[in-house]
Amino acid sequence: MAPTVILLSLLTFIVVLVGGVTNSHSLKKSHNLNDTRTTSATGSARTGTYANISPTKVSRFSKTIKSTDATSRPLKPTEGSTKSLKTTTFKPKQTQATTRPLKPTEGSTKTLKTTTFKPKQTQATTRALKPTTVKPLKSKKPSTTLKPTLKWTEVSTKALKPTTVKPTVTATRTTTSPVRFHSEDLNENIDKNVERRVWHKKESEEPPLFECPPLGLESLKVKDSQIQASSYKRMGLGPHRGRLNIQSGVEDGDIYDGAWCAQYKDQNQWLQVDAKKLTRFTAVILQGRSSIWSWDYVETYKVQVSNDTIKWKPCMNGSEEAVFEGNKDTETSVLAILPKPAVAQYIRINPQTWFKNGTICLRAEIMGCELPDPNNIYPWQAEEGTKDKLDFRHHNYKEMRKLMKSVNEMCPDITRIYSIGKSYMGLKLYVMEISDNPGKHELGEPEFRYVAGMHGNEVLGRELLLNLMEYICQEYKQGNQRIVHLVKETRIHLLPSMNPDGYEMAYKKGSELAGWALGRYSYEGIDMNHNFADLNTVMWDAIELETDKSKLINHYFPIPEHYTSEEALVSPETRAVISWMQTIPFVLSANLHGGELVVTYPFDMTRDWAPKEHTPTPDDSFFRWLATVYASTNHVMSNPDRRPCHNEDFLRYNNIINGANWHTVPGSMNDFSYLHTNCFEVTVELSCDKFPHASELPIEWENNKESLLVYMEQVHRGIKGVVRDKDTEAGIADAIIKVDDIDHHIRSAFDGDFWRLLNPGDYDVTVTAEGYFPATRSCRVEYEHYPTICDFQLTKTPKQRLREILAKGGKIPKDLQLRLRQLRMRKLRVSTKLINRRRQSQQRRARGAHN
């Protein structure tokens, strides 16, 4: 969450543009300077010239595509058609082509020409081949490939046409794409150099340990009615606003201002907290006022405690009343430990001095331990929050590895750990995969992902995903039918920490003192949620400029050229995630954030640079459903009596909102996911507090457990099926699935399987694929929790047959859009590799200089 952050960065940006900024102002706002670093690659996307996929524009690439396409990856047996194989009988040659990637020279047209016109000669050369080269073909057809079909038909045979259940179908195909993400061995030590870079100072590794937890001013555990004040300027600056890290709205003067502010400027002002129970108060944390326009904070203060609010006892430092150091700016949280813990029910913060040009304003948290209630006959039966026995604490990188390893060891049959890449500092982006067949995409089985910690200081999502993997493993072993079903029918990927560098920064400060922005960005200062390629602009520009509407595309938008250059400011973490998104055919995802309580759905970006504006996707109704599923099952969001977190009341909208209608975000992960891949993604803002205290974790798990599970189950909504060649029954990859009246298509995966998320209703579904006649079926989506099976068999066009005969089994190029999309992805991977290599050698050199 970050409306103000964006606004601030916009503001700073404008200020820089105008150039008339005074030194005092920029000094005053120095805490915002970080935000200027968030200039993302997408900022320049506006100037991108790519408008649409017209043949002329692509043609200059076509040459490169032809040569690289055929040579850069292993071909699948089905890609060269069996038909042309039979007529030309070049079997051995074909074997060679399908079992391993060709070298650039091997695919050259020259060899093709010489061999294709002289069959006898070719046969002679094949004889010279060693028998071993033919072998791999056999091993490529394991009998186990039959399995998925059987399992899948069990799900809902009633919707299946009898003709579609042919056991031979999958036997003719390999059902997996090449596995790119190899399993990680977490027994391995962390690279010594990475270790030195991230944890160079041993003493700062662990956050400060407090004797007592926070009462919960920040987390809202302390209710508004428990906070009182001597006076307050107006409602928006009332005592209920005096909570650590509370965020003001854009304007001052509304009901959601960024602190408690006293009406008078004298030493008789106080903010009082009723702990409701006898409490051992140990410390106070103070912060100034959150505001873009005002500059107010308390410099020194006293503390008093009471049991009846009539008699007050001052906090002493020896024989004198203690005076505590407060703030020097508005944002930094400053901790004061009481010289001697004070036992009482009420505590008062009593400001003594404040910023001279400002007024008395503060945000606070109080640390204290509840004392046993003498009237309670079960004093030690405190509410624990949940019955689940999970590892409830904050896990830094090393602890996260340990936990993932233990889950993997506990459930080796259904889990696998892999890494999608490394952070700037070299920490691995670990993913826990959960499936009854880890490491493989199974035909018809949808892929789901949760991504957490894109903003490193929004840490609850990370812990919830660690809880979730532990929970699924435990429940699966105990035979919990819901979990067993989920694991068997879904391939789940959990990425708990997309920004591990940022997390470590926030973690070292700890849950109370990390503030609002530390650790949000990548090590380089990039905000990853603005860092994905801005495909919205590409799409909207095309709609505006293109006169021939039939040329417009509505899905699978290629990454713009400039985004793939080495100079583009794209973080290594973003690059890793993009590559991951394109490798695995994800269907559904959620992106877990913190600092608000709301679920947002795409688009996240407004169309004409409006700061906020409702900007729905063609799949708006399904996205609203998805957001509602999470929000309505989350215990805190769905509580009608809850108060708003900061400056917006999302309860009014049932806790869901269109992302762009909250605040525009160009280059968001959600929008990119929807426009570049088949995957639908929403953002979940999990809690008002970005970094809840460890003691809050059990209750937070309970608040989110059902939501996390039921949201995953939505991946089984709508329709799914396999698109196949009618003659060969081979699955057709990249077929386009169009649903009438929804201007957003999706594509089939490697094996021809597809998933189209849809709300209940009747749909006419048309499938097209390069070289095939289109086919249309009507498919009904029911209210039940399983998808309607909607298979397609496509007939090859005569033209395609002819092309294949002419190509003699060679690869027929894919459609232009797809080729461009693949080319750009390849370019991005190449530039990523170059950047990584350069950074590694830089870091090595820096180390050399250091030593």
Q: How far is the CB of 773 from Zn ion (least distance, A)?
A: 47
C-beta closer to Zn ion: residue 458 or 751: 458
- Give every CB contact of residue 383 below 8 A, 6+ residues apart in sequence: none
Question: Going along 327-409, which residue ranges are E strands?
Answer: 334-354, 361-370
Binding mask 448-487 for Zn ion (x = CB under 5 A): -------x--x-----------------------------
- Catalytic annotation present for 184: no
Q: Closest CB to Zn ion among 3 and 787?
A: 3
Annotated catalytic residue: which of 573, 685, 696, 713? 685
Which residue of the chain is nearest Zn ion when measured via CB? 593
Q: How far is CA 104 from CA 69, 72, 79, 111, 136, in A?
A: 10, 8, 18, 12, 21
Half-sphere exposure of 51 (CA within 13 A, CB side): 15
Closest approach of Zn ion to the CB of residue 795, in Å: 49
Q: Closest separation between CB of residue 517 and Zn ion, Å?
A: 11
**Among residues 470 and 700, whose Cβ is nearest to Zn ion?**
700
Task: Kindly compute the dihedral angle of the four CA atoms of residues 553, 558, 563, 565, in this order, to the nearest 10 degrees.
Answer: -140
Single-letter amino acid, residue 583: T
Q: By CB under 5 A, is residue 646 in contact with Zn ion?
A: no
Which amino acid is it at 781? V
* Smallest distance from Zn ion to CB 635, Å: 21
State whether residue 521 is helix, strand or coil: coil
Contacts 24+ apart (CB under 8 A), 821-824: 821/556, 821/557, 821/558, 821/559, 821/676, 822/65, 822/69, 823/61, 823/64, 823/65, 823/68, 823/558, 824/558, 824/559, 824/560, 824/561, 824/563, 824/564
Smallest separation (angstroms) from Zn ion to the CB of 434 = 25
Rounded Cα–Cα distance for residues 406 and 390 (Å): 12
Closest to Zn ion by CB, 665 vs 818, is 665
**Residues in a beta bridge with 589:** 449, 681
Cis omega (within 30 of 0) for bond into 603: yes
CB 464 within 8 A of CB 497: no
Nearer to Zn ion, 184 or 527 (CB): 527
Of 458 and 619, nearer to Zn ion (C-beta) is 458
**Shortest distance in whole angstroms from residue 1 CB to Zn ion:** 5
Taking the least distance from each CB to Zn ion, the nearer of 459 and 769 is 459
- Is residue 828 a contact partner of residue 564, using CB atoms and an 8 Å limit? yes
Residues binding Zn ion: number (CB under 5 A): 3
By beta-carbon proximity to Zn ion, the closer residue of 455 and 530 is: 455
For residue 529, the minimal CB distance to Zn ion (Å) is: 6
d(CA 375, CA 726): 77
Report the site for Zn ion in 416-455 (rule: CB under 5 A). Answer: 455
- Residues 580-609: x where in contact with Zn ion by CB under 5 A, - otherwise, as a string: -------------x----------------
Nearest Cα residue to 667 out of 537, 571, 761, 806? 537
d(CA 547, CA 540) in angstroms, rounded, equals 13
User: What backbone phi and psi angles, to 5 degrees, belong to 739?
Assistant: -110, 130
What minimum distance in Å lies between the beta carbon of 163 and Zn ion? Answer: 49
Q: Which residues bind Zn ion (CB under 5 A)?
A: 455, 458, 593
Catalytic residue set: 685
